[in-house]
Structures are given as C-alpha cells and as structure tokens.
Amino acid sequence: MNAQFDTPLDLKNGRKTVAAGGPCVDWQPDDASADIQNLRVKTHPGEVASSLLSVTVTPANNRWSLDANSSGQLTPGQADAYVIVTRTDGTHYHPQCYTDVRLRP
C-alpha cells in the first residue's frame, strides 16, 4: 500500500499546522490494514512541521489524515511531505512520498 498526498495541503492554527491527508493506493492482496506515521513536511524555505501520531487505514477505509505541527509559522507555497507506512505484519514501506506539495493559507 502506498499513501499519497492531496495537494494543496491546508495551513491552519495561525499557519503553524499542516492538515495533511490523501488516498491510499496499490494495496497488496494480503494487506488487511496499515498504519501511517511519522508525517514530516518541509517547506522550501526550510521550515519543518511533524507529527508523532499515526492513523490506521484499511482497503475499505482508504483515506488518511494527520496534522503536522511546527513551533513557528510555515510559509505557504511549495513543500515536501513524507510518511512511513507500516503493514499489519510489521514490515515497513518507506514510500517515495517526498512529494512536491503546495501549502495554502
């Protein structure tokens, strides 16, 4: 399974939080569920927002959503976003989710 990002991603909380999410695609036949975790968003000026929370998705409920927080305001515009996907059997996908996304205020 691969987690993809919607774009643009919304900024909220005075531009200190990124509301990230998107569809889950390419499920394998034995994927009962997966955890999406370690969300990290880095703006092109270099500001970082991250989340230590996780969300569980299934083939029947295959959209994910997490908020990433920053200590300061984030600059709207281009950013890179990344998550780690852990399958139910404990193996990790490190999908190429460094996706060129856009942050909107």
In the chain, what are the domains? 2-104 (2.60.40)
> What confidence score (pLDDT) does residue 94 get?
65
State the burial class of residue 34 (Cβ atoms within 10 Å of its Cβ: 0-12, 13-18, 19+). Answer: buried
In whole angstroms, what is the distance from residue 74 CA to residue 12 CA?
A: 10
In whole angstroms, what is the distance from residue 25 CA to residue 40 CA?
A: 20
Token readout for 67 is 């908020």
CB 47 within 8 Å of CB 74: yes
> What confidence score (pLDDT) does residue 61 get?
92
What predicted TM-score, i.e. pTM, was given to this entire model?
Answer: 0.88
> What confidence score (pLDDT) does residue 96 get?
57
Digitized pLDDT (tens) for each residue of the chain, 105 residues in all: 888 899 899 999 999 999 999 998 888 888 889 999 999 999 999 999 999 999 999 999 989 999 999 999 999 999 999 998 888 777 777 665 567 788 998
> What confidence score (pLDDT) does residue 29 get?
86
